[in-house]
């Protein structure tokens, strides 16, 4: 068995990280400090990852990719910029790791003999239940 594929690395020069104000509770700190990190990465035009990995990424995370082909991730989990930026990069790394290895193709199988017989006997039992439904009303006439 081969070794697990490494997660593709994205050079930091391709990432754009901006800081904006967080939302929600937090009082004065939230109102005046830009701690939320927003990471943008142009995945559609990136040459840092292989074409097959890019295709799987775009297919699996299509809802997270903009029309311009950029992935936009944000984090406001922590109260300082550095940890939020690192959290965004970690999210991106996890997404890339999820698509790094191609999925194994499914081999179609057929149900076994016991499963077919079980299905048919269940169908017969259900049919008997339905057939027995209205026989009493018609026999009392």
Average pLDDT over residues 23-46: 85
Nearest to 22 by CA among 94, 83, 95: 83
Question: Taking the model in full, what pTM does it have?
Answer: 0.69
Tell me the pLDDT band of 13, cut-offs 50, 70 and 90: confident
Identify whether 112 is part of a domain: no
Identify whether 41 is part of a domain: yes
Name the domain count of the chain.
Answer: 1
Identify whether 5 is part of a domain: no
Identify whether 134 is part of a domain: no
Identify whether 128 is part of a domain: no
Q: What is the mean pLDDT of the chain?
A: 87
Tell me the pLDDT band of 3, cut-offs 50, 70 and 90: very low
pLDDT value at residue 137: 54
CATH number assigned to the domain comprising residue 47: 3.30.160.20
Average pLDDT over residues 66-80: 92
Instruction: Domain of residue 67: give its range.
Output: 12-100
Could you count the other beta carbons within 10 Å of the beta carbon of residue 126? 10
Measured over the CA atoms of residue 35, residue 64, residue 43 and residue 86, the dihedral's sign is positive
Helix (H) or strand (E) holding 128: helix 113-131
| 42 dihedral zone (left: phi>0; alpha: psi -120 to 50; beta) | beta
Identify whether 124 is part of a domain: no
């Amino acid at each position: 068995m081969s070794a697990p594929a490494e997660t593709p690395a994205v050079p930091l020069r391709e990432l754009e990280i901006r800081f904006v104000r967080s939302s929600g509770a937090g009082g004065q700190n939230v109102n005046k400090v830009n701690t939320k990190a927003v990471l943008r990465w142009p995945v559609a035009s990136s040459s840092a990852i292989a074409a097959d990995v890019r295709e799987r990424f775009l297919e699996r995370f299509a809802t997270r990719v903009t029309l311009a082909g950029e992935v936009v991730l944000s984090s406001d989990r922590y109260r300082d910029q550095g940890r939020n930026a690192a959290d965004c990069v970690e999210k991106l790394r996890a997404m890339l790791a999820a698509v790094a290895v191609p999925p194994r193709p499914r081999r179609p199988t057929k149900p076994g003999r016991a499963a077919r017989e079980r299905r048919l006997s269940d169908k017969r039992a259900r049919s008997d239940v339905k057939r027995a439904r209205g026989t009493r009303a018609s026999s009392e006439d």
